[in-house]
Amino acid sequence: MTRPPLPPFSRESAVEKVRLAEDGWNGRNPEKVSLAYTQDTVWRNRAEFVNGRSEVVAFLTRKWAKELDYRLIKELWAFSENRIAVRYAYEWHDDSGNWFRSYGNENWEFAPDGLMHRRFACINDLPIAEADRKFHWPLGRRPDDHPSLSELGL
């Protein structure tokens, strides 16, 4: 099984890979998202270490149970042969109705089949007022005409 686009990446294929990842995460289906990663994937997400697809599913299940009404935008930062760096922001609220915008950077490394083997994420959470939200599309895939992070000044 392969997961195009495959490395080595061009600018165009790296941008496509980033958007596919964004779309997957905005779908908030842990099992489906886990299929974009190798069986033995290795993650560092904040201070948590995740190893293998089953831990990815458990991690994402916990994440989206806590981070409600999650909406994410990713943007390509840099790429090389089999690596992509992205910056991103996502908005969510907790079960008390407190809103946050979380900012981060990820470094990705891909296997030849296009599955992500390694993911390293650094994330900071900023409390925001609901009136300060910038991501208002219906839950799911971000519309193509919605502004990017750069267009939003983030």
Q: For Cα atoms 13, 34, 97, give the angle at the middle one, nearest 5 degrees.
A: 100
103: left (phi over 0), alpha (psi -120 to 50) or beta: beta
Q: Across residues 54-72, what is the average pLDDT?
A: 98
Q: Across residues 114-143, what is the average pLDDT?
A: 98
Instruction: Provide the mean pLDDT of the chain.
Output: 98
**pTM beyond 0.95, yes or no:** yes
Share of the chain above pLDDT 70, in %: 100
- pLDDT by residue (tens digit) across 74-95? 999 999 999 999 999 999 999 9
Position 133 confidence tier, pLDDT thresholds 50, 70, 90: very high
Question: The tokens of 19 are what?
Answer: 């958007």
Residue 1 has pLDDT above 90, yes or no: no
Q: Domain locations in the chain?
A: 11-131
Residue 152 has pLDDT above 90, yes or no: yes
Domain spanning 11-131, CATH class: alpha beta
Tell me how many helices (H) and strands (E) the chain has. Answer: 4, 6
- From CA 50, how far away is CA 43, in angstroms rounded? 5
